[in-house]
Copies of this chain bind each other. A is one copy, B any other.
């Protein structure tokens, strides 16, 4: 029940974050195709942030499915993650409105970086709670994506000193890596997947 409520609250926050970003999209000044083309960068940054929140929701969902329970520390580690994610609409808006200027793009990257760190902390807290021989530790043994992403974000942040738009490209590539590799994990899990709908306590990734 406690775990369910943590998921429900996180779902609520993520659903709101992913949706209110849309409120920030200014309608084109002219009701023409040119007007629409002019806001394409805005739509692109909206799509990118939508993708990132979607990835976090997916990963959060997989993570919690493997967790055994929650404690006070986990509740706060989760809120810490939600805090950084809640800043996505703000940094999306700022980098978009500034025409992807150097500093706002770097701040966008720092927010991605800190959200990744917060996700890592949450992961550690859940593993510590479950024990080193639990399903989580087994499944996350080879978490090269989780540990590699911060370096990509750092690279993107540094690149912004030279070419902010290229940084956004790096952040987009990092998102696509998550998307594509998500399917690969899926294939790896294989048959376990087919049971998801039937067994409530099925961990799916245990050996």
Can you name the residue of chain B whose Cβ is closest to the Cβ of A25?
A: B90
Q: Which of A96-104, A141-149, A168-176 contacts B (4 or more CB under 8 A)?
A: A96-104
B89–A31 CB distance below 8 A: no
B72–A182 CB distance below 8 A: yes
A 1-31 to B, binary, CB cutoff 8 A, 1 in contact else 0: 1110101110111111111101101011001
CB distance from A147 to the nearest CB of B (A): 20
Contacting residues, chain B, for A18 (C-beta < 8 A): 13, 82, 86
Q: Does A94 contact B (CB under 8 A)?
A: yes
B19–A107 CB distance below 8 A: no
Tell which of B8, B15, B23, B183 touches A72, judged by Cβ atoms closer than 8 Å: B183
Contacting residues, chain B, for A155 (C-beta < 8 A): none
Contacting residues, chain B, for A87 (C-beta < 8 A): 22
Contacting residues, chain B, for A94 (C-beta < 8 A): 27-28, 31
Interface size on A, as a range, is: 35 or more
A 172-188 to B, binary, CB cutoff 8 A, 1 in contact else 0: 00000001001101100
Q: Does A133 contact B (CB under 8 A)?
A: no
Given A9-B11, A9-B15, A69-B196, A90–B22 Cβ distance below 8 Å?
yes
Can you name the residue of chain B whose Cβ is closest to the Cβ of A11?
A: B9
Contacting residues, chain B, for A186 (C-beta < 8 A): 71-73
A19–B86 CB distance below 8 A: yes
B2–A65 CB distance below 8 A: yes
Contacting residues, chain B, for A82 (C-beta < 8 A): 18
In the complex, besides A9-B57, A73-B183, 17 extra interface pairs with C-beta distance below 8 angstroms are: A9-B15, A12-B12, A12-B14, A13-B18, A15-B16, A19-B86, A20-B22, A27-B94, A27-B104, A31-B103, A47-B83, A50-B83, A69-B193, A69-B198, A70-B197, A72-B185, A129-B194
